[in-house]
Structure 1
Amino acid sequence: MLNARTDTYFGGVTGDPFDETVERALRYIEAGADCIFVPGVVEADTIRRLAAAIPAPLNIVAGLANTIDTLTLFSLGVTRVSLGGSLARAALSLVERAGRELLLSGTLGFLDGAISYAELQRRFDQ
């Protein structure tokens, strides 16, 4: 699958990013792209308009420029949702909170809800 990326919503376009995105998407599709990847879009209405204007599956990043949940993104017409570095950022945030908690109070509250060592090992044994 060829997922063609356009960074029009990260800046760098002189005109309207919506129009530029659609124009690029149409050229990408004509060149053989299967999906159009548009990271950096913030507004739900813009995402809905992009999905309607682009005659190919639309890929949006959740958690980068917007915090729109995946079910809403799908309801807006998005076909593929990427996370980019969101999972890594979430994991690193937990590491930072854990370190701060250990340093300041010495407690282990950051482990609340964590998978047990035995369960983790069981999953690796499968």
Structure 2
Amino acid sequence: GIEDWSGDRERGLYDRALAVARIEAAVDAAAALDRPFVVTGRTEVVLYGLDGGIDEALARLQGFAGVGAHCLFAPGLRDLDSIRRVVRDAGGPVNVLVPLPEVSAHGPAPFGVDELAEVGVRRISIGGSLYRAQVAFAAERVRRLLADRTF
């Protein structure tokens, strides 16, 4: 996935035109390959609670779709109505991030796989939550071993 986050806290997001141009360059590069390659256009607007919220996220996703992104991704959508809106208005197949509840700051998702499929989500990611759950489990087991001296 190609993100619109610059990686620099002071800079924040790339402006929309640059973010779209980056996706377009990736789509062009993928088209030149001799094998299938999926380009996902990702906006961090919702995840980081940035100005414009879902409206700005949609504008960016629509721009990504307009230059050929194969999949569209706005992590941070936490309710089915917002997801439904993005699926309806983004302009292409949508990916949704649903972290495992054991390590999600927001607890269990208020929807399941079937509900996401019903609203048209085409891809579901769990992000790094499986790794974080494994690390948390291992850390708890080590704490118990040290505290109780039991396995």
Q: Name the CA distance, whole Å, in 2 between partners of 1:57 and 1:25.
A: 10
Secondary structure, aligned partner of 1:9: coil
Choose 45-54 or 71-80, whichever is displaced more. 71-80
C-alpha deviations, 1:16-60, integer Å up to 9, x for none?
A: x12112111111111111110111112221111111112211011
Letter in 1 for 2:133: A
Bigger share in helix: 1
Amino acid at match of 2:149: G
Indicate the percent of aligned positions where both proteins have the same amino acid: 33
Check conservation: 1:62, 1:70, Cα contact below 8 A: no
Aligned residues: 107
TM-score for both structures, normalised by structure 2 = 0.63
Match of 2:58 in 1: 22
CA RMSD of aligned residues (A): 1.9
Q: What is the alpha-carbon distance in structure 1 between the residues aligned to residue 116 and residue 39 of structure 2?
A: 21
Which amino acid letter does the alignment assign opposite residue 10 of structure 1?
A: L
Query: Quick one: which of 87, 90, 105 aligns to 1:51?
Result: 87
Confirm or deny: 8 A CA contact 2:40 2:71 kept in the other structure.
yes
How far the C-alpha of 1:77 sits from its partner, in A, is 2.1
The aligned counterpart of 1:11 is: 48
Find the counterpart in structure 2 of residue 35 from structure 1. Answer: 71
Unpaired segments of 5 or more residues in structure 2?
1-37
Match of 2:113 among 59, 65, 70: 70
Asked if 1 retains the 8 angstrom alpha-carbon contact of 2:94 and 2:121, the reply is yes
Letter matched to residue 51 of structure 2: T
Contiguous gaps of at least 5 residues in structure 1: 109-126
